[in-house]
Structure 1
Amino acid sequence: MVNESGVTWRHAAGVGVVVLLVCYGLLRWTTAQGHGLPHMSWFILVTLVLLSVAVLAAGWEVRDYLHGTSMRPPSPQKARRALVAAQAAVLAGAMFAGWFGAFALIELGRLDASSALGGMIQAIVLCAGSIGAVVVGLVVQGWCRIPKDKDDDDAPGGGTLRA
């Protein structure tokens, strides 16, 4: 599923769209049955921001070393953790963006209710925070990419070695 370029914005967009469609359908069905919408909290935004800061901090040491500003190499475990955290931030951010996007669309359809505008604005802000986590994850994943050496030889014949 993930190729050598890692998790891409296309993966994130695909996950976000699928989650948006599924959650929109479920939220629409539950509200049609007379149930209320789940409660959203601003605490989620704080969590997304802290997650993004932690991913940035994890990837910064790898970035410094690969850009030559640090002579101390990060341990392979730290570099691997930074990469995995970045990829997790991309996918989790995409899922949250889909969920909050669906929530905003449901609230958009019921703007005649007094509480719908506040809920829609909150869902849009949380969706934007989720997209921010996706962007941070993609940036940090790029920082963790090891540049190809110019003197590395390709496999003979331009392909992979076969036994």
Structure 2
Amino acid sequence: MRPHAGIRVTTLVLAGLAMTVVAWLVLRWVAAGAAVPEPGWVGAAAMLFLAAGLVVAGRQVRTVRDGIPNPAVTPLRAARTLVLGQAGALTGAVLVGWYVANVLVLLPDADVESQRGRIWPFAAHAVVAVLLSAAGMLVQRWCRLRPRDDDEDADRP
């Protein structure tokens, strides 16, 4: 039986692109000339906090996977860390799509100084969302078990 490969980068790209298209359409249809609300910096701080928490939890699992015992890291906790990493990666990808859609809605008016100033917070949030997604993918990689030598022998006829 082949183990599950986990979340792939192509899945993240497709999720981000789908969210960009859907959000852009909704923002163009619903907003229709209304001002797009600016993102608060609390959102960016929360995404950074989540990414840092994922990396810390993933690092603990990686050290146990590499042979350094830690009684606090149980198999259940490792599995939960893996799932949180995958959820963080997908959430980050979808948030990138949302913030990029907001940038695209504001882009036609980028020649106006006030609108140009509104684009930068959305772009900054998109970058932070990419970091959240990258942290999730890193944690997924750290939680992956390495194949054992006896597994390779069992696969041979």
Alignment TM-score > 0.5, same fold = yes
1:81, distance to aligned residue in structure 2 (A) = 1.2
Write out the 4+ residue segments of structure 1 that deviate beyond 3 Å after TM superposition.
153-157
* One-letter identity of the residue aligned with 1:79: A
Q: 1:154 to 1:119 in 2, by over 3 A?
A: farther
Instruction: Give per-residue Cα distances to partners, 1:62-118, cap 9 Å, x unaligned.
Output: 1111223x2236201210111011001000000100000011111111113332112
Q: For residue 86 of structure 2, what is the aligned residue in structure 1? A: 87
Report the CA distance between 1:36 and its aligned residue.
2.0
Per the alignment, residue 161 of structure 1 pairs with none
Instruction: Tell me how far 1:154 sits from its aligned partner.
Output: 3.3
The whole-number CA distance in structure 2 between the counterparts of 1:144 and 1:83 is 6
Q: Percent identity?
A: 29
Q: What amino acid does structure 2 have at the position aligned with 1:18?
A: A
Tell me, yes or no, if the aligned pair for 2:54 and 2:135 is still in contact at 8 Å: yes
**Aligned residue-pair number:** 153
CA distance in 1, matches of 2:131, 2:124: 11
Q: Which runs of 5+ in 2 are unaligned?
A: none
Instruction: Look up the SS of the partner of 1:120 in the other structure.
Output: helix
Aligned partner of residue 115 in structure 1, secondary structure? helix
Equivalences for 1:60-79 in 2 at 5 Å? 60-68=59-67, 70-72=68-70, 74-79=73-78
**Distance (Å, rounded) in 1 between the aligned partners of 2:59 and 2:146:** 16
SS at match of 1:71: coil
Q: Taking structure 1 as the reference length, what is the TM-score of the superposition?
A: 0.87
User: In the TM superposition, what whole-angstrom CA distance separates every residue of 1:26-82 from its partner, at most 9, and x where no partner exists?
Assistant: 1122332x32212311111100000001111111111111223x2236201210111
Q: Distance in 2 between matches of 1:21 and 1:57?
A: 33
Structure 1 counterpart of 2:13: 13
TM-score, normalised with respect to structure 2: 0.90
Amino acid aligned to 1:103: N
Q: Which runs of 5+ in 1 are unaligned?
A: 158-163
Check 1:110–1:31 CA distance in 2 against 1; reply closer, same or farther (3 A cut). Answer: farther
Residue number in structure 1 paired with 2:28: 28
Return the alpha-carbon distance in structure 2 between the equivalents of residues 102 and 87 of structure 1: 23
